[in-house]
Structure 1
């Protein structure tokens, strides 16, 4: 018989409904009986005790809110009777020991990756086109159309075929046929953005760091860069940002400045000829075995629900711990979604100065949000709240489970590149695409992305493995979900079992044997963070 309620942490004074429960229903839990005094939907929380106004509400073992009104035992928690509250943290109070998971089965395993001259190993082989300024977006789009039509395996969208039949008046649509790739060992991808000029100079400098990180990411074989000439983000600023990350980079980069080249036609002619020759060379790079220590995974959640912190996120946490134990790297970001668990993360920092940096970044981020008239308490989206995540601290405590329990080896600000194996904290917004974009720019070669509601996010250069927190979502949206952790909710599998299966899946994706749903959908999202604007 499926359990109806679950307590996530022994110290918790709230319970999570695993199925829909009705007012008046009596549920046996542990050594007591709880009578529901309200209807409770699956994923939502109920009071395990009576709360008076101001009483502390504990979940995942941490403070996630306080009672806004009297809450009876067995009553559902809502945004009306609970308000966001988190513990104040001033510094490290102790160290947290770590017991590494058993990695015996994986210690000698390898993945088939792309070895770069600087020692990094990629999971993809991508030639990337991007502009330094939004003024060049149209030219990037023209190049995208040219190269995709001639180089890449191309299937006409069935909806395009439908429109074609409506225009012609012929109800019978011809079947869309695949064209073969000209090059079978490289992907050609294109990025556009709205930055590079206007705003403040710091925006352009930050964008330069992000773009330099994409160039340095081992999933990229080389890049074609378009510049207008007069923009804030000058070519020299971009080159300096790349040099700061990798002074000895030998990666092929071709750069064109429109204001120095004359007509659009003259520039595009040169771009097409030069890029084609460079892509031909990059196509010769072959996959070779690499140890799992060369993997760098980004940990992301988006469209979260009340089960995300119970099934999908802890599964990622176990994968993160396994990879760290193997000598690999994991990146945990979304700083607004670490609100409330700062003390644990500070205490997990291997060096006290890393904990200080983390708290400084958190406080500066929160201050910028408050100065803009908002706050971290505004982070949960309507979808989050509808599915049981009613305070930011509650959402954060579940989101932080993606980082497992391993020591924090480094703390990075936005735009900084990963250099230290182990668990890294990266300062980004909670916005799904901005955060994913940033982790890849900091060196992630695969991203694990959990969702309870369904999010079709992808990335131009890194595989995004989409993980559902519940089987209902995986059944409803099979075209975007790669892995279903709903078996954890049903009690059919443990977190450890799901994590081990996920690591095997990651190896297959990293080796090119399995293609993610996001890649099949050609989902290539890229949004830089304009600092202080996004939450």
Structure 2
């Protein structure tokens, strides 16, 4: 049972978190200031008086300013706390020595993976059907469904399935950046180590041309193009003929793809994406810092841990910059932050449009507060590299990739970069899945784990209810990652999730 004792995360904090909530008339801090109304679990109360305009501190950092006077013991949330400018006097690399010392000494680990001819290692073995444009979405969906319904895949024990990846763009695109991002995403999926063969399917006249993409990414002809195949609806002769042609090509490829088999592989080959969604007031207390311990262990193994969601680290980027491995690494992250500030400004938005209504119901008030909790997933080791969206991840340790906070678009970039799986923390609950790289979902609290048992893989609620240490929970998550890498099915895989969640980031204007 979760303790009712208020949680103080840092001695400098001016608020405390109520792990079990409180009722009107309760005085959780013993300040002689009874609550005027009920306060939900995960929400905050003031440890001291705050004058209007005064900074409110959580995690030892500013999460906003009081919009009115707040008395000690009072509920602190959207009615009296708001987003404020945060300091951007960045000190790149000032904590690098401390971060380097945080890399744990780890004994080597192995998982049972698929060795590829190019030296990479996969954790799954799929045939991918990739749409170049929304016009080919239907033929891909129908072909994928008809292949599954036929039962033919049962004959090939080393093939995890055929995954149909359709999207809503590929034409009517404006600007070089938006085209490059889609090309990088599609190429990243096509060459992913979890994919044994790829069939690109287009209409034929779209902006997103397969030949140009191959020329751009394979100018030196280093890729084995026998791995790739392509069809165009206009050339094949229409919708039904294309569906049948896709199915025939899959049947031709299955025996060859099935020749791959699992064998012992070093865990240093793993690239693990870190995400959160449907966050609550417990995310930054249980699941995210526990996953941060896992990220540190991955760095100790020589593997990669990939943090993303730039709008959701906003306000906490200084925590990452302080442990940047070089000025170049830090400067690239700063440039991405500045790009996002401009991006939301020209689109008449705000980076404080997050947290979502669900986040706020769970106790999170401002993007600064949410970001500080979200960055806990990154652990404590050096930031070794910063990547653009869908850019190939080629550095070990803790790395960063620029993506939106929108979960499926973030996942698409991380997978295109080579992530073998996504570890996704959630407090409100999420039904996301991903293919060809599976999603492991981690609950921040006992209630969620018990109420969504078919979706949640790991429970971090016991960090509070049973006193499990963050280190032990981080080790538990790592063990689960190794099991999934070796073939264990996640809850999202058992439910068949992952195809409809493929959402490449669409940046430019639609013309």
Bucket of the pairwise TM-score, normalised by the shorter protein: over 0.9
Cα RMSD over matched residues? 2.0
Cα 1:204–1:94 change in 2 (3 A) is closer
CA contact (8 A) 2:175 2:508 kept: no
| Structure 2 residue corresponding to 1:530, chosen from 484, 506, 509 | 506
Q: Which moved more, 1:431-440 or 1:382-391?
A: 431-440
2 CA distance for matches of 1:520 and 1:452? 21
- The corresponding residue for 2:253 is 278
List alignment gaps of at least 5 residues for structure 1: 154-180
- The corresponding residue for 1:214 is 189
- The corresponding residue for 1:119 is 119
TM-score in terms of structure 1 length: 0.90
Alignment deviations for residues 469-490 of structure 1 (CA, whole Å, 9 cap, x no partner) = 0010010010000000001122
2 CA distance for matches of 1:93 and 1:505? 34
Question: How big is the shift at 1:133?
Answer: 0.7
Question: How big is the shift at 1:269?
Answer: 3.8
Question: How big is the shift at 1:62?
Answer: 1.4
2 CA distance for matches of 1:271 and 1:339? 44
1 CA distance for matches of 2:508 and 2:285? 31
- The corresponding residue for 1:148 is 148
1 CA distance for matches of 2:457 and 2:219? 36
Q: Does 1:22 align with 2:23?
A: yes
2 CA distance for matches of 1:452 and 1:245? 46
Cα 1:93–1:134 change in 2 (3 A) is closer
1 CA distance for matches of 2:91 and 2:201? 46
Q: Does 1:183 align with 2:156?
A: yes
CA contact (8 A) 1:208 1:241 kept: no
Alignment deviations for residues 420-464 of structure 1 (CA, whole Å, 9 cap, x no partner) = 111111111111111112111111001100010110100120110
Question: How big is the shift at 1:244?
Answer: 7.0
Q: Does 1:509 align with 2:484?
A: yes
Question: How big is the shift at 1:127?
Answer: 0.6
Question: How big is the shift at 1:355?
Answer: 0.8
CA contact (8 A) 1:331 1:425 kept: yes
CA contact (8 A) 1:100 1:325 kept: no
Question: How big is the shift at 1:520?
Answer: 0.5
CA contact (8 A) 1:295 1:329 kept: yes
Q: Which moved more, 1:245-254 or 1:433-442?
A: 245-254
Question: How big is the shift at 1:280?
Answer: 1.6
Q: Which moved more, 1:138-147 or 1:521-530?
A: 138-147
Cα 1:426–1:266 change in 2 (3 A) is same
| Structure 2 residue corresponding to 1:199, chosen from 162, 173, 181 | 173
Q: Does 1:495 align with 2:470?
A: yes
- The corresponding residue for 2:35 is 37
1 CA distance for matches of 2:220 and 2:110? 27
Q: Does 1:360 align with 2:335?
A: yes
- The corresponding residue for 1:224 is 199
2 CA distance for matches of 1:240 and 1:463? 30
1 CA distance for matches of 2:442 and 2:215? 37
- The corresponding residue for 1:109 is 109
- The corresponding residue for 2:91 is 92
How many residues are paired up? 501
List alignment gaps of at least 5 residues for structure 2: none
2 CA distance for matches of 1:245 and 1:516? 38
Q: How does 1:261-340 map to 2 (within 5 A)?
A: 261-340=236-315
Cα 1:245–1:211 change in 2 (3 A) is farther
TM-score in terms of structure 2 length: 0.94
Q: Does 1:453 align with 2:428?
A: yes
2 CA distance for matches of 1:229 and 1:34? 73
- The corresponding residue for 2:12 is 11
